[in-house]
Structure 1
């Protein structure tokens, strides 16, 4: 539970309380306006509590995500005791009908969400191109790349 009392989480808890209180207050204000005869306020009176519910839903989802993904002290101890055993054992990859199975999935632990790797891909332009201007420009860029301190006016071509 200490994970939920970091400065970032305290800010989230405060934001939850402020937003839910504000949204419910605005909903009550719209109910009072609707009771005074403003018919369109009935729609807003329903919307504001829905917004408050959404804030609570997102907060609860983030709390569950934080508690589930971070290892506890017993998980750390188990990982350190099992690490030497797995290092000496030969590596065998388990497979099923769909392909290799992740070892962390087999151990009952859910693998973390990872960001995709972005690979920069450049186009290969043939020097013998139909477009002579493009080839000349590519030679110019190659020269600039080879001479990082040079100015564009120093280009010999």
Structure 2
């Protein structure tokens, strides 16, 4: 792993990671100092605590990528660490006929009402059937009248 860490490609990653961590440390110190000043606030304290977490993230990801690269070179993929799945008994296949194809319903190209794709689009009132529940039929008739009245505006 030391040979990998000293390769020219990884030197670039070392420098970038250290630069990112140093930048996060500088920003954390700046925010913490700003929080203690007369113009500071709780927001500065929050950022002062957040920047070190970002620096830790950069360090952890650098270490993780270095380890993954070392495993790849050693011939061990990350998938090899997962145990193979346990084989279950085969399931008998059930052959059912496919459902009958339905004919597509024609869609109006332009809606009757509505100003645009995000505007209110009103649909035509459904016909009221009197053989339903009488209260429901009366309610539906009232809604149909209100829709017609609203459409007349």
Q: TM-score, normalised by structure 1?
A: 0.45
Asked which structure has the greater CA Rg, the reply is: 2
TM-score, reference length from structure 2: 0.46
Structure with more of its chain in helix, by fraction: 1
